Structure 1
Amino acid sequence: MKTISIPGLSKPVSTLVQGSDYFSPDVYEKVCTVLDSFFTIGGNTIDTAHNYCDGKSEVAIGQWLKERENREDVVILTKGAHPKGNGPRVNPEAIKEDLLTSLERLGTDYIDLYTLHRDDPAVPVHVIIDALHEHVTAGRIKAIGVSNWTVQRIQEANEYAASQNVIGFTFSSPNLSLAKPNEPFWPGCISVDEEDVKWYEENQMPLLSWSSQARGFFTGRFTPEDRSNEDLVRVFYSDANWDRLHRAEQLAKEKSVSQIQIALAYALNQAFPTCAIIGAQNETELLSCKKGADIVLTKEEVDWLENGGNVHKSW
């Protein structure tokens, strides 16, 4: 499987990242089957979070790491400082609390990729960078990143880090998909737009996309008339996205793949380093994702999938 490099981390990061929001010791046999199969196809990076399944996701991964004795072969991405009922938690105390808890659950003394799960624009970036720097210096974190931050806040934080000669954010995890959302899937979530894409390209910052396949929009199971999935209707139903789906179907036929594999390939063939966080739950889904990750798209194909036009005719 293809990999990318993330500054601060000596290990390569597989372009497919196995998501674990359904992991739990209660389904541990399934967890083992998925993770073993994921590593068999060449993956090495697992995405989790302090709050997934009330912490059970990290516990299950920690159990698997202990049994397989493969911690040094695995890239762990976990997230912290997610809001709770009483509001935002992006502050030094919450970061420390969540990080130490995640380390204990995972049974490890370091996190490869540590991510702030949300932003709180009311907190100055210097407070956040200084807090994370303490944990990087202590060896608890190899590389720091953000999930659902605007590029403006990332830029501000990294300018401060550079001014202090400390490590800034070296990767980001917003949503990037061929289907463009009408509104955030969850409050506070960020999906990159055209201007954001230019920023990532100019800065060559690695982007690890969640919902890169638009939560099943490209499976072929949905039509404009089928409005049974309220969230999908709310977020992804639009004329422009149905047009993108039709173009994905057309290109998929030409390449003898499926349209959802084309959607995955779109996210992985940008002009900057990208990974896709996937929610595969069995070997069949993993193999489908692997095939999608292997597809090479030209810039013209990527642009045509997104915007249409007559470019396709000249391939």
Structure 2
Amino acid sequence: MHTRTLGNEGLSVSALGLGTMMMPDNEESVRTIHGALDLGVTLLDTADIYGAFEQQRFGGNERLLGHALKGRRDQAVIATKFGITHTQGPKGDPAYIKKSVDASLYHLGTDYIDLYYQHRPDPNTPIEETAGTLADLVKEGKIRYIGLSEASPELIRRAHAVHPLTALQTEYSLWSREVEDEILPLVKELGIGFVPYSPLGRGFLTGQIKSFEDLPEDDYRRHYPRFQGENFTRNLEVVSLIGQMAAEKGCAPAQLALAWLLAQGEQIVPIPGTKRLERLQENLGALQVTLTAEDLARIEQISPQGIAAGARYPGQN
């Protein structure tokens, strides 16, 4: 397994991580997590909101991960997040953070969290207060490293000035390249690792989704603009070209998309999510895909910044 270092504080992780958000709480998910560890994947990403369909069920996905890691905690780098609530908007005040970290430690069945992210910025709490509280948790040994998710350049700089950030997590893929303008240059300048979530465009870039009807009726993606109407048709054209290039290179479309991300910088560690071990194994094949300068130029022609039709989330312009 190839490894990469996130940030300047020495956090070494597998070059590809595993996102666990969509994993149901069942034995197949446990087998997939065990398979990831067996294959050398160390970075496992969750959040307190994942699996929390009701207020009282916060930590559902963390509990799954904690169960799967019993007896194998030392093989994993656990990344989890706080700050998204059901009804109060993003939270980052000291009291909320202290309550959240203790709950996550309990759900995960561990006495420390390797990488603790603020899931979304809290507009009502100065980032200096949030970062200061997280710095205190590092001193207490409850967390090892600090991260932010979907934060602006200004907030990143301000938080980093209080305590070094180890990672920033933000959506990044061949159809979501907005971070290339300001975010990626900034984290490179400051020595912060970058962890792209949805690196396969919520599954669209795998080439497995051929029509809107391929999405189950209860699939959340049905509500996302990029999966609807003319947007879907236009995005499918791009995915088709990616698939053609992948076939020529003898790899899967997902492997090509992940290899492209890995080629964007040594500080980048994507976290594709999957429920199935065979899909995880396919994703890891991206580490064996070599992209030449000509390959990268061709990909740039196929999927330049801004090519995706539709907003990332419902309600966005």
TM-score range for the pair, normalised by the shorter chain length: 0.7 to 0.9
Q: Aligned ranges for residues 293-308 of structure 1 at < 5 Å?
A: 293-298=287-292, 301-308=295-302
> Greater CA deviation, 121-130 or 3-12?
3-12
CA distance in 2 between counterparts of 1:299 and 1:112 reads 36
CA separation of 1:180 and 1:19: change in aligned 2, threshold 3 A = closer
CA distance in 2 between counterparts of 1:302 and 1:197 reads 18
CA separation of 1:7 and 1:57: change in aligned 2, threshold 3 A = same
CA separation of 1:282 and 1:41: change in aligned 2, threshold 3 A = same
1:203 to partner: Cα distance: 3.6
Q: How many residues align?
A: 290
2:145 is matched with 143
CA deviation profile, 1:4-35 (whole Å, cap 9, x unmatched): 112476552112222222345x41x1122101
CA deviation profile, 1:45-76 (whole Å, cap 9, x unmatched): 2111111112121112212222xx12122100
CA distance in 2 between counterparts of 1:58 and 1:306 reads 37
RMSD of Structure 2 on Structure 1 (CA): 2.8
SS in 2 for 1:192: helix
SS in 2 for 1:144: strand
**Does structure 2 retain, via aligned residues, the 8 Å contact 1:9–1:112?**
no
1:131 to partner: Cα distance: 0.9
| Structure 2 stretches lacking a partner, 5+ long | 53-58, 216-221, 304-317
CA separation of 1:131 and 1:104: change in aligned 2, threshold 3 A = same
CA separation of 1:127 and 1:40: change in aligned 2, threshold 3 A = same
SS in 2 for 1:274: coil
- The yes-or-no answer on 1:59 pairing with 2:63 is yes
- The yes-or-no answer on 1:197 pairing with 2:184 is yes
**Does structure 1 retain, via aligned residues, the 8 Å contact 2:116–2:146?**
yes
CA distance in 1 between counterparts of 2:116 and 2:15 reads 17
Instruction: Choose which of 152, 155, 164 in structure 1 pairs with 2:154.
Output: 152
TM norm structure 2? 0.81
**Does structure 2 retain, via aligned residues, the 8 Å contact 1:201–1:272?**
no
CA distance in 1 between counterparts of 2:211 and 2:124 reads 40
2:101 is matched with 99
Instruction: Choose which of 60, 72, 75 in structure 2 pairs with 1:73.
Output: 75
CA separation of 1:73 and 1:226: change in aligned 2, threshold 3 A = closer
CA distance in 2 between counterparts of 1:201 and 1:238 reads 33
Aligned residues: percent identity? 29
1:174 is matched with 170
SS in 1 for 2:22: coil
CA distance in 1 between counterparts of 2:181 and 2:5 reads 24
CA distance in 2 between counterparts of 1:60 and 1:22 reads 11
CA distance in 2 between counterparts of 1:124 and 1:193 reads 26
CA distance in 1 between counterparts of 2:7 and 2:260 reads 24
CA deviation profile, 1:207-246 (whole Å, cap 9, x unmatched): 1111000012123244689797442335993798556434
CA separation of 1:302 and 1:205: change in aligned 2, threshold 3 A = farther
**Does structure 1 retain, via aligned residues, the 8 Å contact 2:168–2:195?**
yes
CA distance in 2 between counterparts of 1:152 and 1:78 reads 23
Q: Which amino acid in the other structure matches residue 111 of structure 1? A: I
SS in 2 for 1:275: coil
> Greater CA deviation, 270-279 or 232-241?
232-241
